[in-house]
Amino acid sequence: MSVRYLLGRVGLALLSLWGVTVLAFVVLRVIPGDPALLMAPVGASQADIAEIRAQFGLSGPIWLQYVAWVWGTVRGRFGKSLWLQQDAIRVILERLPATLELALAALVLAVAGGILLGVLSVLWRRTWFESATLGVGTLGLSIPNFIWGLLFIVFFGALLRWLPISGRIAPDFDMAPLTGFLLVDTLLRRDPGAFASVTAHLILPAAALALPLLAVVFRAVRSDLLTAVNEEYVVMERMKGLGELRIIFWRALKNALIPTTTLVGVQFGFLIGGTVLIEAIFSWPGIGQLTLAAFQYRDFPLIQGIVVVYAVTVILTNFLVDLGYAFLNPKVRYA
Amino acid sequence: MGMTRRGFLVNAGTTSLVLPWARLAWAQKKTSVTIAFPEAITSMDPQPGSRNVPRESFYQAVFDRYLGQDRQLKFQGGIVEAWQYTNPEKTAMDMKVRQGISFHDGSALTAEDVAFSLNRMRTTAPYSVVYKNITSIEMPDRFSLRLKFGAYDPAFTKWLGFLAGFVLPKAAFEKAGAEEFAKNPVGSGPYKVVRFVPGSLLVLEAFDKYWKGAPPIKRAIFKVVGDPTARLSEILSGDSDITLEVPVEEFNRLAAQPGLKGVKQPVTDVAALFVSPRFEPFQKEEARLAVHHAIDKKTLVDKVLLGFGIPLSTTEAPLYEAYTDFSFPYNPDRARDLLGKAGYSKSNPLRLKAMTTKGAKTKDFEVMTAITQMWKDVGIEAELEIITIPQFFQHRSAKTIAPLALYFWSNSTGDPINSVGHMTRNKGPFKVWESPDVDPKVDPIFMETDERKRIGAAKEAARYVIERGYIIPLYQVVMPVIMKKDLVYEPYSQGFVLPQDMSWT
Amino acid sequence: MNTSEGGSAPLPTPPPEGCAGKASARTDASLLKRRNAKLVGGVVIGLVLCLAAVLAPWLTPHDPNRQDLSAIRRPPVWMGGAGDHPLGTDSLGRDLLSRLLWSSRVAVMVAVGATLCAAVIGTPVGLVSGYFRGRVDTVLMRVVDVWMSIPAVLLAIALMAVLGVGLLKVILAIVLVDWTRFARVIRGEVLALREREFVEASRAIGLGPFRIMAEELLPNLVPLLIVLASLEMAIAVGVEALLSFVGLGVEAAVPSWGSMIAEGRGYLLVGWWGMTLPMLALVVTVVGFNLLGEGLRERLDPRLRTEAAR
């Protein structure tokens, strides 16, 4: 693909990153309450507080503070989390795989589920199935994912008790993480019981997270397929005796790929934002679970780290999606 | 873990899918216990940072305190097996360290470790306020210490069995450094840390060479579950074996489940409203007292806390040494009178802001919401502001605290120094109300060498601050504990959860 | 959308149901019925919501914040509850019906307020960007891209942590988070419209760009705006519920479905109505707005090149 396109994408990514650093910087200085006082232990003297101010770069001219902040961010130094008393970036990076695994699982569920439902709803159109899926589509789109999460916990966790509703794996499985992606780790360690446990724990939160995106993918696939089934050449092919399923299915896959890619790009930001609440509800030990507490405790180092890491994830994903899209759609590459 | 029958099934991949019958059949985790714990465990360094007693549960599993404490809050020898003051001013003390104790890494515990721990506390906030009173530490021999103090501190010996009073291994700590030690601690307690995920999980394994004997349950898991509804689900599904602080409405239903039982445990936590002197109307005693008289604590306890509280009119809970059954009556008419005298009425209400936590303690916010209506009925209009506990500390230090603020004070030593003493002493960092008449009343608690006189002064001081309206105690906390029926455990009134005292039938 | 150039990405359009020729008559009728059902459903729900919001003070005798500690967790009337609390009470004895009704006021205020402001900010940006294209477009869309790098929920929470709680602040936060949606979609539409003859004609007779935007483009954008507005209202209500659920939404003293859900969750197994009823109200409202938006979209202009609902 053209170098110009690539550079353009990189430029956009960098610009977005810069914008995010500005935002995270501003956050620290706009939140009510003196941050230095918050970070100081009980009974600290004025001298102690001044020292904390210096340590966190809260003193001096604002532009200098910003430069110091950016320099620190680039090196990944956000300071020590007040609440967890550990280096903020380390805590975040330790927990990041959990969030990524959840988000990716949700993504896979959404895309696969959406395509499947889309195909089936067109295949079995004008039946109750189609109406049912349309209903699901609307509900999935409208209902906020945290509500789905709560509903799942109530039904599948508390009432029916089919699936676990907190954590990533049953604590009986004592596993020091290798990659942090437990699905991978349990396979690497050839422990099917652990793998099953991880999968079971992943189902409900990933499903809650996935539903809105699933509905969107479903709609898109369905709309494309509905156009397709009415087109001339399909009618011709049908007359040739080819199975309808085959036609629909292949057409779905081929043509769904491009729009789905763009959809995913847009939606991934929403999806990953959803992890904040879903992780809190399901006690999922990722960075989302940290987020609410970090804001409540006014843990600035952690807040800044979280905001930057989330933004980087989204920017990177968009970048990759753009590359993928350009790969699939040659028209865009040489713009 | 070898290939046990359970292990076989696990590898067949069935049990982990939580099919109800499978769960019931194999729920006999007889060698381990899983505790669904409400507070986040963030660091395994037991000395720095503010905390309340329940949080100390996991430190207690891994470390030993200098002194032990029984369920009646009486102190006994622990690492320090004997101690005594050696002069009449009580500024010098001899300590004897128990022999034969080893740390998890095999090294022997000696006076050096005790000295090291005490010394570190002299500069570790916030409880350094207590320990910096130590002016010198000598070690006449391998198992004795000689301490000198700047002044007599009657509560010092109690602090040895209280917050942050843990013995650390000097060699291991210095070798690892504070940050590393906080992640991979070495203690002398009944359990060793196998795995620690800050904020999420603490997996412990029994220490066979523990000086009191290895604990009956070989594996203890503290699972951080911050959300009360999630804790509910944990215990219902059997994923956890014991949990604290379940929603009070669900308690009876849970306790009645086959396979579960419940305990209503009164603990040494007191809920109180702290009064700020910087609020102009509170310069009038009538206003302060009206606020207190308007609160119907019995109804709060019965209807909002559903029995998980004991109304309290003093800062000293039952079991505390300076407890009296002093009562401050609920009297809304009197409240209206007093407000009238202060110039307020229902048509001209006293408007104020009140700070409260939400979810930090059982029903904290709901209690305050109910109280605002009780206030409304007498002519006080309160606006609630939700804060977190760290914000409470911050506002307190910065003196930006609202006219009234709800806080849960924890004093498992039972000594009045750590309740009315610190709560009100103007000289200290923990008070909110300031006025010149307080310290003369409260100082004797800190300084009187005659113990009987000291406790008498404490009772007097507690009564005084309530009668003046400087602080408004509400209730003693009763903790809802739910556990599996075949788990044998008697909860502590200090509010901790100690896996070392648990066993399975 | 991160591919902002040229709007050339083939955005998936909602099915042009029934207008692709070969469909049978029966399909036509049923599809038409379905489309109408959506619109009708949306309108009905919207009306009920507005009525509830406006008439709340008169529809129930209880003060939504009045606690009655002698009547805690009473069940709804069909489960044995007394008639004076038709939908039961919560754990502080407050009447659930009144709380639900008063919460609808919050929902309506947030929905309308946030949507209006987001439209007012986003539409001009979209117009300018789409009309002028070139550098202006690039700059504006870059700003939008950067803005959208921060996940919406995270940004909303951060904003509320900074601003503090309160209804107006919630509206402000939602606007700041979601105005980009209007900008993007309007821009896409303007990019297409500007090529049409009537615009060419206006340019030919010498009308200035802003007059063209105001007099030619804007009126043609109205159907799209209406559709967007409905969808935006659904999103606004959802975000407010989320914020109130975590305690970063409206003030503690103001009832809102989100905070009611959080409260009800605490005693779910002994009083399921505490959480379920507000959840139902929320779901019906959000679904209603979505149905309205979709129904309108299908009715007003099936060719509208709007992004599939997001």
B409, B269 contact by CB (below 8 A):
yes
State the best of B373, B374, B383 to mutate against chain C, taking most chain C CBs within 10 Å. B373
State the best of C95, C267, C272 to mutate against chain B, taking most chain B CBs within 10 Å. C267
Per the CB < 8 Å rule, is A219 touching C8? no
Residue from the list B15, B233, B390 with its beta carbon closest to the beta carbon of A165: B233
Per the CB < 8 Å rule, is B383 touching C253? yes
Residue B6 scores a pLDDT above 60: no
Please tell me which of B265-269, B322-326, B373-377, B417-421 the model is most confident about, judged by mean pLDDT: B373-377
Average pLDDT, whole number, for chain B?
87
State the Cα–Cα distance between residues A54 and C180, nearest whole angstrom.
38
184-203 of A, contacting B, C-beta below 8 A = 191-197, 200
Look at A25 and A44; give whichever has higher pLDDT.
A25
Chain A neighbors of B179, CB-CB under 8 A? 86-87
Per the CB < 8 Å rule, is A176 touching B195? yes
Kindly give the residue spans of alpha helices, DSSP state H, lying in B294-401.
Answer: 297-299, 332-342, 364-376, 389-398
Shortest CA distance from B299: residue in chain C: C69
Average pLDDT over residues A19-30: 75
C36 touches chain A (CB under 8 A): no
Per the CB < 8 Å rule, is A298 touching B391? yes
Chain C neighbors of B384, CB-CB under 8 A? 252-253
Look at B83 and C192; give whichever has higher pLDDT.
B83
pLDDT band at B454 (very low <50, low <70, confident <90, very high): very high
100-129 of A, contacting C, C-beta below 8 A = 126
Per the CB < 8 Å rule, is C3 touching A223? no
Tokens of C205: 């007779």
Question: Residue B206 — φ and ψ, nearest 5°?
Answer: -60, 140
- Touching A: which chains, 3+ CB pairs < 8 A? B, C
B366 touches chain C (CB under 8 A): yes
Chain C neighbors of A218, CB-CB under 8 A? none
Residue from the list B16, B182, B397 with its beta carbon closest to the beta carbon of A200: B16
pLDDT band at B18 (very low <50, low <70, confident <90, very high): very low
| Model pLDDT, residue C6 | 30
State the Cα–Cα distance between residues B241 and B24, nearest whole angstrom.
13
This prediction's pTM: 0.84
Residue pLDDT, tens place only, A145-194: 899 998 888 888 767 777 877 777 776 676 666 777 888 887 788 888 88
B357, B388 contact by CB (below 8 A):
yes
State the Cα–Cα distance between residues C216 and B14, nearest whole angstrom.
66
Q: Residue B125 contacts by C-beta under 8 Å, 6 or more apart in sequence?
A: A41, A42, A43, A44, B48, B49
- Where is average pLDDT lowest: A71-75, A283-287, B119-123, B373-377? A71-75
C132 touches chain A (CB under 8 A): no
C135 touches chain A (CB under 8 A): no
pLDDT band at A41 (very low <50, low <70, confident <90, very high): low
Output the CA angle C273-C279-C280, nearest 5 degrees.
85
- Where is average pLDDT lowest: B27-41, B107-121, B308-322? B27-41
A198, A182 contact by CB (below 8 A):
yes
Look at C1 and A330; give whichever has higher pLDDT.
A330
The H or E element that residue A251 is part of is helix A244-281
Distance (Å) from the alpha carbon of B373 to chain C's nearest alpha carbon: 7
Residue pLDDT, tens place only, A206-249: 999 999 889 988 888 888 777 776 665 556 566 555 566 666 66
Burial tier of C182 (Cβ tally within 10 Å: 0-12, 13-18, 19+) = buried
Please report where in the chains the tokens 């501003």 appear, as a residue. A26
Name the residue among B265, B481, B233, B276 with its Cα closest to residue B398.
B276
Residue A332 scores a pLDDT above 70: no
Question: Residue A11 — φ and ψ, nearest 5°?
Answer: -55, -45
Residue B25 scores a pLDDT above 50: no
State the Cα–Cα distance between residues A100 and A95, nearest whole angstrom.
9
Divide the 310 residues of chain C into consecutive groups of 10 and give the mean pLDDT of each group.
Answer: 31 39 51 74 89 86 88 88 86 92 94 95 90 86 84 88 87 92 89 81 79 81 89 93 91 91 86 91 93 84 44
Average pLDDT over residues B387-401: 83
Cα B113 versus chain centre, distance:
26
Look at C29 and B109; give whichever has higher pLDDT.
B109
Distance (Å) from the alpha carbon of A296 to chain C's nearest alpha carbon: 8
Per the CB < 8 Å rule, is A265 touching C12? no
Tokens of B85: 């003051």
Query: CA–CA distance from A128 to each of A124, B117, C41 (Å)?
Result: 9, 72, 19
Question: Residue B197 — φ and ψ, nearest 5°?
Answer: -110, 105
147-176 of A, contacting C, C-beta below 8 A = 147, 150-151, 154, 158
Helix (H, G, I), strand (E, B) or coil at B270: strand
C242, C153 contact by CB (below 8 A):
yes
| Model pLDDT, residue B500 | 93
Q: What value of ipTM does the predicted structure carry?
A: 0.83
| Model pLDDT, residue C14 | 42
> What is the share, in percent, of chain A residues with pLDDT greater than 90?
10
A155 touches chain B (CB under 8 A): no
Counted residue by residue, chain C has a size of 310
- Touching B: which chains, 3+ CB pairs < 8 A? A, C
C169, C163 contact by CB (below 8 A):
yes
Shortest CA distance from B248: residue in chain C: C267
B120, B174 contact by CB (below 8 A):
no
pLDDT band at B277 (very low <50, low <70, confident <90, very high): very high
Q: Is the bond into B126 cis (omega within 30 degrees of 0)?
A: yes
C29 touches chain A (CB under 8 A): no
Please tell me which of A6-10, A33-37, B99-103, C290-294 the model is most confident about, judged by mean pLDDT: B99-103
pLDDT band at B498 (very low <50, low <70, confident <90, very high): very high
B259, B236 contact by CB (below 8 A):
no
Task: Decide the pairing of beta strands B350-356 and B404-410.
Answer: parallel
| Model pLDDT, residue A62 | 75
Cα C170 versus chain centre, distance:
14
| Model pLDDT, residue C11 | 36
State the Cα–Cα distance between residues A230 and A222, nearest whole angstrom.
13
Residue pLDDT, tens place only, B476-496: 999 999 999 999 999 888 888
Per the CB < 8 Å rule, is C8 touching A23? no
State the Cα–Cα distance between residues B47 and B298, nearest whole angstrom.
38
Look at B180 and B3; give whichever has higher pLDDT.
B180
Distance (Å) from the alpha carbon of A326 to chain B's nearest alpha carbon: 41
Name the residue among B255, B43, A158, B252 with its Cα closest to residue B242.
B255
